[in-house]
Amino acid sequence: MNVTLADFTAARDADRPILISGAAIVTMDPNVPDLDTGDVLIVGSRIVALGSDLREDPQHAADARSALVIDARGAIVSPGFVDTHRHAWEAQLRRSIPDVTDLGAYVMSTLAGIAPSYTPEDMRVGTRLAALTALDSGITTMLDFSHNSRSVAHSDAAVNALIDSGIRGVHASMGPHFGDWEKQWPADMGRLVRDFHGAADGLITVRLAALSTDEIAGPTLAFGPELAALARELGVSTSIDAVFGSSSSEAILQWATQGILDPTLTLIHSTGLTSTAWAAMGDAGVTVSLAPTSDAQIGLETAIPAIDEALAVGIRPGLSIDVEVALASDMFTQMRALHAIQRMRATSASYGTDIVLPRITTRDVLDFATLQGARTNGLGEVTGSLTPGKQADLLIVRADDINNMPLNDAVGTLVLGSDPRNIETVLVAGHARKWAGRLVDVDIEALREEVVRSRDDITARVASL
C-alpha cells in the first residue's frame, strides 16, 4: 500500500475525501457501469462518486484533488460480500464434524449435545471469531442466525461480539432447540430491538429468527401468526431456517393463506420444495438465502441448492455460509460451489438431447454474493454495490498476485481466481477493517488463546455430563 493505515485513519476521521485510484472497478449496480480502470471517491462513510478520472470531473474534481489517494493499480475494487445466514456461535467448533452424514447427525451432535454447555462468554468468543473471519475473507455484512440464545446474557454477548468486530452485523435471534434456557425469547425481542437496532452508528440491525415447522424442536420456535405479529409490531424482518421438503411447502402455503407470507421473510435453504410453494414465494416477494455447500455436502433434502427454482419464480437469492462445524468459512467457496453445481445440473439435463437449459454466470453468483445478499438482509439501499450514496463497504483485491495475474476479466478473477489471501483492504462504512492484508486492531495470538480456551472448556463441560 502506498498509504499507511495511520494516514488513512486520520483522513477518515477528519472527513477528508479518500480517492481509490487506478483499479479495475466492479460495481454490481446495473445502473453504474464497471470500469477497466477508474476511481472511487469516498467521504466519511459513503461512496460519493465513481469515474474513469474523477480529478478531471468538474463535479468532483475539487474533492478528488484534495483527497488522500490510494494507488490501487493492479487491483480490483468491488463491493464487500454479504453472508445471509451463519450460526456464528459455533465457530470455535470449526470442522469438528467434517464428514457429518446428514441434518439429524448435526442436530444431535451440535444443537442437542454441545449447545446447552455454552456460556455467554462462549457465545461472545464464537461470534467474534466468525465475524473477524468473515471480514478477513471479504464479507463486510454477516447475518448471525443466533439460535443458542439461552439467556439475555447469551444474546447480549452475541450482539456485542458483532459490535466489537466492526462488521456490519445482523443479529437474528432465536431460542435454542434443546436443553435448559430462560425462556426469555421471543419476549426479549423488544429489548433487543430497543437496545441494539441501529447500534454502532447503524452497523447493527436486529431480526427475528424462527424455524419453518415444529419437526425439529417443537412449536415454540416454529414461524406462524404469533411470531409474525410480533415481528410486525417491532418493525423487523424474519429469517426462517430449515425450510425443507413437503412439510415446509405446506407451511409456506398456509402462511400465504394466513396473510403472513410477505417480503419481510427470508426463507433459508428452500430445498426440495414443491412448485406450488415456489409459486407462492415468488408471488409474495419473499427473499431466499441459499447455502450451497451446506445443502450439497451435508445432504439436506435433495442436496441440490435451489437456484433454478428460485430464478424460475423471479427470486434472485443471497448466499450464506451456514455451519462452520462442517463447512468452509468464506464466500469464494459458496460462489464457486453454486456456479459449478448449477452448470453441471444444466449440462447433465441437456446431455444427449436437443434441450438447452440456461446456465448461470460468474456475474450471477457475484450478484448473489453482494447486491442480492444485501437485499436478502434488508440492506439493499445501504450496501451490496458500489453506488454513489451507499455505504463504503468495499474490497481492494490484488489482481497481480501469482494466482490472479494477469488480469483479463475482473468478475471472473473475483469468482474463480481469488481467495482471502488476495484481499488487500476491507472497508466497512469507510472504516478500515483489513489493511495491507491484515485485520486491523486484532491481536491474533490473544484471539487464538481465547478461542482454544473456550473450545477446551466447552469440550470439558460436555464430557462431564
* pLDDT tens sequence across 145-164: 999 999 999 999 999 999 99
Q: Is a pLDDT exceeding 90 seen at residue 1?
A: no
* pLDDT tens sequence across 219-252: 999 999 999 999 999 999 999 999 999 999 999 9
SS3 115: helix
- Quick check: 110 and 206 in contact, CB under 8 A? no
Instruction: Identify the H or E element spanning 252.
Output: helix 245-258
* pLDDT tens sequence across 57-94: 999 999 999 999 999 999 999 999 999 999 999 999 99
Residue range 5-79+382-439, CATH number: 2.30.40.10
Give Cβ neighbours of residue 260 (< 8 Å, ≥ 6 apart). 224, 225, 228
Dist. CA 82–CA 74, nearest whole Å: 24
Q: Give me the residue label for grid cell 424460475.
A: 312
Strands 265-271 and 438-439: unpaired
| pTM for this entry | 0.97
Instruction: For residue 217, name the pLDDT band (cuts at 50, 70, 90).
Output: confident
Instruction: For residue 321, name the pLDDT band (cuts at 50, 70, 90).
Output: very high
Q: How much is the pLDDT for 355?
A: 85
Range(s) of the chain covered by CATH 2.30.40.10: 5-79+382-439
CATH topology of domain 81-376: TIM Barrel (3.20.20)
Q: How much is the pLDDT for 196?
A: 97
* pLDDT tens sequence across 258-279: 999 999 999 999 999 999 999 9
Dist. CA 381–CA 452, nearest whole Å: 39
Average pLDDT score over residue span 172-186: 97
Is the alpha carbon torsion for 46, 50, 56, 60 positive or negative? negative
Average pLDDT score over residue span 434-438: 97
- Smallest CA-to-CA distance from 255 within 282, 225, 289 is with 225
- Smallest CA-to-CA distance from 118 within 94, 145, 89 is with 89
Q: Is a pLDDT exceeding 90 seen at residue 325?
A: yes
Q: Is a pLDDT exceeding 90 seen at residue 465?
A: no
- Quick check: 41 and 11 in contact, CB under 8 A? no
Range(s) of the chain covered by CATH 3.20.20.140: 81-376
- Smallest CA-to-CA distance from 298 within 271, 280, 319 is with 271
